[in-house]
């Protein structure tokens, strides 16, 4: 079945009501363009070919999704859903099953589509749902025995037909040869002057082809996005589903309504995530990791038992086990922290490796640095890694102690076990095991008196 499936995704509509420079199907749900969600659902079905019918903002859509394994089909003029599907038909062989999906209906699941593919084997499969307020949708017209006769669009419907609550989701599947024949026979003699895909239902009935229906697991699966209010509603639904899956897998979310996952999260046992945490890209949290409130994590790996306190931003980093990060720490790309490292408040660390047990606890900038084990970097230490043109590295040996408010002007190397006196500006390598100071000597000016304010 699946190996002979061609999916056609309609994505040519302009989406005027989004009021956006971005084509509608590129607006994101869960951090991913809506169209990509649909492509991934189609891939989940192991479709042999996926055709995306694009129109408005086509170049933007194509370049945003250039890495996706799809065939791009242009629909230069939007003459209706039937016309849109026709554009893809020349590339689809007769023996394939064709399934039609929509680039602005992102939450459709593979399970629902499998059922649709299954019923299509009998003739034509149609995905329908019941809505208490069916306004705007095509209605499913059935005979007395419950057999589907046709779909009638709201604008072409009679009073009685408008009361029907079973609506067309738009998604359907059937054999390519007959679909081609039916599409070729469509006209645009209707209220909207469009070639309606929905008219193929009546064609199927005329030819005695069985029309079977199935329904989505949840209504949100078939909800389309026309404006940003609907986009936000789908985003919430999507987040709720992902949160539930995480909680059922053993993650504590202190408030699932205040957690956003815009990517993939792999979590060990007894991970706790406090409120207002945003996760993007690929994040992995080991057993017992605790993420405090108001943190942002993108593409990070955090090993077992590490605690990330509130208000931290971590991007493209690898954090070892039993570390303490934050509050208010920023861990920037290409940083690796080994086990039991402490990164404290108002510390920024970039493109650096910090070995086991080292501490940078207060108000520091550590960039382009290699820090050994057991190092203590005092408050306010800055690695001066940039000379205005190039970046240079700072190397700090094991067990070194860098006194508070020191500057390490790179390239520079601090020997193992070295101590740097507070307030030093270090411009040359310092020997291992010795105290190095680089600051003005303290003096006391005898008899000095404070200035006094002059009288007018
Ligand atoms: C369509 C269905 C209706 C169904 C509803 C579900 C038809 C005639 N009607 O109506 O029965 O209840 O969807 O939402 O099919 N598109 C193109 N090219 C076109 C026209 C549309 O790519 O020439 C795309 C749009 O971008 C959109 C989708 O097809 O993603 C549906 O088009 P739209 O005009 O919104 O159809 P509806 O009137 O909502
Ligand atoms: Ca629509």
Q: Is the CB of 54 under 6 A from ligand 1?
A: no
Residue 300 pLDDT more than 60? yes
Q: Which two three-digit tokens encode residue 110?
A: 């593979």
**Is the residue at 101 inside a domain?**
yes
**What is the CB neighbour count within 10 angstroms for residue 143?**
9
Q: Is the CB of 151 under 6 A from ligand 1?
A: yes
Q: Are 126 and 205 in contact (CB under 8 A)?
A: no
Q: Is the domain of 70 the same as that of 188?
A: yes
- Mean pLDDT score, 224-251: 97
**Is the residue at 157 inside a domain?**
yes
pLDDT at 3: 57
Residue 97 pLDDT more than 50? yes
Q: Is the CB of 137 under 6 A from ligand 1?
A: yes
**Is the residue at 265 inside a domain?**
yes
pLDDT at 57: 77
Q: Is the domain of 71 the same as that of 14?
A: yes
- As for how many domains the chain has, the answer is 2
- Name the residue range of residue 356's domain: 251-436
Atom of ligand 1 nearest to the CA of 197: 15
Q: Is the domain of 153 the same as that of 298?
A: no
Domain boundary pick from 174, 207, 222: 222
Q: Which two three-digit tokens encode residue 154?
A: 């709201």
Residue 358 pLDDT more than 70? yes
Q: Is the domain of 348 the same as that of 210?
A: no
Q: Is the domain of 181 the same as that of 322?
A: no
pLDDT at 202: 96
Domain boundary pick from 222, 238, 272: 222
Find, among 107, 343, 139, the residue nearest to 230 by Cα. 107
pLDDT category at 456 given cuts 50, 70, 90 is: confident
Q: Is the domain of 21 the same as that of 170?
A: yes
Atom of ligand 1 nearest to the CA of 80: 23
Q: Is the domain of 266 the same as that of 201?
A: no
- Mean pLDDT score, 383-389: 95
Q: Which two three-digit tokens encode residue 151?
A: 């779909």
pTM: 0.92
Q: Is the domain of 312 the same as that of 399?
A: yes
**Is the residue at 240 inside a domain?**
no
- Mean pLDDT score, 272-297: 98
Taking CA atoms only, the protein residue closest to ligand 1 atom 27 is 13
Percent of the chain with pLDDT over 70: 99
Q: Which of 56, 290, 311, 362 is catalytic?
A: 362
Residue 77 pLDDT more than 90? yes
Q: φ and ψ at 8, to 5 degrees?
A: -115, 120
Is the torsion defined by CA of 80, 223, 241, 33 positive or negative?
positive
Q: Is the domain of 210 the same as that of 268?
A: no
Strands (E), 176-292: 210-214, 252-253, 259-267, 272-273, 277-285, 290-291
Q: Is the domain of 255 the same as that of 182?
A: no
Ligand nearest to the CA of 138: 1
pLDDT at 277: 98
Q: What is the CATH number for 186?
A: 3.90.550.10
Residue 2 pLDDT more than 70? no
Q: What is the CATH number for 279?
A: 2.160.10.10
**Is the residue at 60 inside a domain?**
yes
pLDDT at 1: 45
Name which residue leads in pLDDT, 352 or 455: 352
Q: How far apart are CA 190 and CA 152, in angstroms?
A: 10
**Is the residue at 33 inside a domain?**
yes
Q: Is the domain of 294 the same as that of 354?
A: yes
Atom of ligand 1 nearest to the CA of 83: 23
**Is the residue at 246 inside a domain?**
no
Q: Is the domain of 393 the same as that of 303?
A: yes
Find, among 423, 418, 421, the residue nearest to 405 by Cα. 423
pLDDT category at 266 given cuts 50, 70, 90 is: very high
Find, among 327, 105, 110, the residue nearest to 219 by Cα. 105
pLDDT at 14: 80
């Amino acid at each position: 079945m699946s190996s002979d499936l061609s999916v056609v995704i309609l994505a040519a509509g302009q989406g005027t009501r989004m009021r956006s420079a971005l084509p509608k199907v590129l607006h994101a749900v869960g951090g991913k363009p809506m169209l990509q969600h649909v492509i991934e659902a189609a891939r989940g079905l192991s479709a042999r070919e996926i055709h995306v019918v694009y129109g408005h903002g086509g170049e933007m859509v194509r370049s945003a999704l250039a890495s996706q394994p799809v065939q791009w089909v242009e629909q230069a003029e939007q003459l209706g859903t039937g016309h849109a599907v026709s554009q893809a038909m020349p590339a689809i062989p007769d023996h394939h099953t064709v399934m039609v999906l929509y680039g602005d209906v992102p939450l459709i699941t593979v399970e629902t589509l499998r059922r649709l593919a299954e019923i299509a084997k009998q003739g034509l499969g149609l995905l329908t749902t019941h809505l208490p307020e069916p306004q705007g949708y095509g209605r499913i017209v059935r005979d007395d025995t419950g057999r589907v006769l046709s779909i009638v669009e709201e604008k072409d419907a009679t009073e009685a037909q408008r009361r029907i609550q079973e609506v067309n989701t738009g998604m359907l599947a059937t054999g390519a040869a007959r679909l081609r024949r039916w599409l070729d026979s469509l006209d645009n003699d209707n209220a909207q002057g469009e070639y309606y895909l929905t008219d193929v239902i009546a064609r199927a009935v005329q030819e005695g082809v069985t029309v079977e229906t199935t329904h989505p697991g949840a209504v949100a699966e078939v909800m389309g996005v026309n404006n940003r209010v609907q986009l936000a509603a789908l985003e919430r639904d999507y987040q709720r589903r992902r949160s539930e899956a995480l909680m059922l897998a053993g993650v504590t979310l202190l408030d699932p309504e205040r957690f956003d996952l815009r990517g993939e999260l792999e979590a060990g046992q007894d991970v706790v995530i406090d409120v207002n945490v945003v996760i993007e890209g690929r994040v992995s949290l080991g057993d017992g990791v605790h993420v405090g409130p108001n943190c942002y994590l993108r593409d990070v790996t955090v090993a077992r038992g590490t605690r990330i306190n509130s208000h931290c931003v971590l991007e493209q980093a690898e954090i070892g086990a039993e570390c303490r990060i934050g509050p208010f720490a920023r861990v920037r790309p290409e940083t690796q922290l080994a086990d039991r490292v402490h990164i404290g408040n108002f510390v920024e660390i970039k493109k650096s490796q910090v070995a086991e047990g080292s501490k940078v606890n207060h108000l520091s900038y550590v960039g382009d640095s290699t820090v050994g084990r057991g190092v203590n970097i005092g408050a306010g230490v800055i690695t001066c890694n940039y000379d205005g043109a190039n970046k240079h590295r700072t190397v700090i040996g094991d067990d070194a102690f860098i006194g508070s408010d020191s500057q390490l002007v790179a390239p520079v190397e601090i020997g193992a076990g070295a101590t740097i006196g507070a307030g030093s500006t270090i411009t040359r390598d310092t020997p291992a095991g010795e105290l190095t100071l680089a600051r003005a000597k303290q003096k006391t000016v005898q008899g000095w008196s404070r200035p006094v304010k002059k009288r007018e």
